[in-house]
């Protein structure tokens, strides 16, 4: 395995030059340079908040007001920050390969805002909500001092459209993501600790099916051992030079 502090290998560039199909899995680390907190880093969200009190359905039923307060706060942060060079480098990859799939665990919508056309959102999207009784989807929900928990036309409680622990991932999303991992010639795992399943299985599936698998992360993770190459550094620093080099080689090929 090649471990390098941000410098990519010639093997990676060769694999990318020969690749028809590239897939990328991202996690919270990709948005860190935009100012969105990760979950499990020393200053991450789970250091301050308990997942069991906020990110599962029972917690929502016990205290919907608290859960909504937390998600409204995060919605405001997501809306106020901007995509960073890592998001933009990933968005550029779309035009460089015959097939490109972006699979994200992030709910902040920053990949779409950076120009990725059809991100597969494994854990939902914080900008959307739905009614727990009739499943009606809402793009915008109103909360106020009087109404701290948004209510549906049917009277049911509305919840954020995110996937909490113990909940199934959207079937179509996980199926498409698994197929993309199986089909990929090169697979990137970027800014994720690899702690949460089933997303954390995807790099291993890609490797098993023959992809060249690359991790981009400032540190080692619990899935680093599955990689062909680990690029140690922030994604906004590591990715842009790879894309620039690839574009240069493709132009002169
Ligand atoms: C940088 C950086 C920079 C920093 N550049 N990088 C198999 C085995 C074991 C357990 C399970 C299993 N299958 C299912 C489970 C249970 C559970 C699970 O995985 N538990 C584990 C924690 C043990 N999974 C589930 O419950 C899932 N559902 C499911 O499997 O359904 C089927 C089922 C149902 C019932 C019973 C059994 C099966 C659902 C998981 C839902 C996860 N939801 C959350 C919250 C989403 C909403 C929200 O945002 O509020 O998703 S939890 C949280 O973790 C969020 C993230 O998407 C997810 C992953 O985190 P991520 O993105 O990796 O972030 P971090 O913080 O962990 O890592 C950041 C990384 O970035 C670090 O490595 C940094 O170094 C790095 N970094 N700066 C690049 N600049
Ligand atoms: Zn309803």
Tokens of 103: 């699979």
Atom of ligand 1 nearest to the CA of 38: 66
Nearest-CA residue for ligand 1 atom 59 is 196
CATH class of 1-36+84-123+170-253: alpha beta
Predicted pLDDT at 19: 98
Angle at 17 between CA 24 and CA 102, to 5 degrees: 15
77 lines ligand 1 (CB under 6 A): no
- Number of other residues whose CB lies within 10 A of the CB of residue 142: 9
Q: Report the chain's C-alpha Rg in angstroms.
A: 19
6, 29, 227: which to mutate for ligand 1, most atoms within 8 A of CB?
29
37 lines ligand 1 (CB under 6 A): no
The DSSP line for 140-165 is -----SS-SS-B-TTSPBEEEEEPPT
Predicted pLDDT at 1: 62
Predicted pLDDT at 48: 79
What's the burial of 188, exposed, middle or buried (CB within 10 Å: 0-12/13-18/19+)? buried
Can you say whether the dihedral through the CA atoms of 111, 113, 114, 118 is positive or negative?
positive
Nearest-CA residue for ligand 1 atom 66 is 39
* Domain boundaries, given as residue ranges, for the chain: 1-36+84-123+170-253, 38-80+125-162
165 lines ligand 1 (CB under 6 A): yes
Predicted pLDDT at 8: 93
Predicted pLDDT at 6: 61
Active site residue 123: yes
Predicted pLDDT at 173: 98
Note the CATH number of domain 38-80+125-162: 3.30.1600.10
- Number of other residues whose CB lies within 10 A of the CB of residue 214: 27
Per-residue pLDDT tens, the chain, 253 aa: give them.
Answer: 666 556 899 999 999 999 999 999 999 999 999 999 999 988 888 787 787 778 999 999 999 999 999 999 999 999 999 999 999 999 999 999 999 999 999 999 999 999 999 999 999 999 999 999 999 999 988 777 788 899 999 999 999 999 999 999 999 999 999 999 999 999 999 999 999 999 999 999 999 999 999 999 999 999 999 999 999 999 999 999 999 999 999 999 8
Predicted pLDDT at 56: 92
28 lines ligand 1 (CB under 6 A): yes
Predicted pLDDT at 3: 60
pTM: predicted TM-score of the whole model, two decimal places = 0.96
Predicted pLDDT at 4: 56
């Amino acid at each position: 395995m090649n471990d390098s502090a941000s410098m990519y290998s010639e093997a990676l560039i060769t694999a990318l030059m020969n690749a028809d199909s590239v897939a990328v899995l991202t996690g919270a680390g990709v948005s860190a340079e935009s100012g969105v907190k990760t979950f499990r880093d020393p200053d991450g969200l789970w250091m301050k908040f308990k997942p069991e009190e906020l990110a599962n359905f029972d917690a929502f039923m016990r205290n919907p007001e608290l859960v909504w307060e937390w998600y409204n706060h995060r919605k405001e942060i997501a809306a106020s920050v901007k995509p960073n060079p890592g998001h933009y480098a990933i968005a550029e990859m779309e035009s460089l390969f015959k097939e490109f799939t972006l699979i994200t665990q992030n709910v902040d919508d920053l990949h779409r805002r950076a120009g990725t056309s059809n991100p597969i959102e494994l854990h939902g999207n914080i900008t959307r909500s739905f009614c727990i009784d009739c499943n009606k989807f809402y793009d915008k929900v109103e909360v106020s001092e009087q109404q701290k928990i948004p209510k549906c036309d049917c009277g049911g409680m509305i919840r954020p459209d995110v996937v909490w622990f113990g909940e199934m991932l959207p079937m179509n999303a996980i199926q498409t993501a698994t197929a993309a991992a199986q089909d990929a010639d090169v697979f990137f795992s970027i800014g994720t600790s690899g702690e949460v399943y089933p997303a954390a299985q995807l790099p291993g599936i890609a490797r098993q099916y023959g992809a060249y698998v690359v991790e981009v992360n400032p540190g080692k993770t619990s899935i680093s051992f599955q990689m062909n190459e680990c690029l140690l550094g922030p994604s906004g620093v590591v990715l842009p030079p790879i894309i620039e080099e690839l574009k240069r080689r493709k132009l002169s090929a």
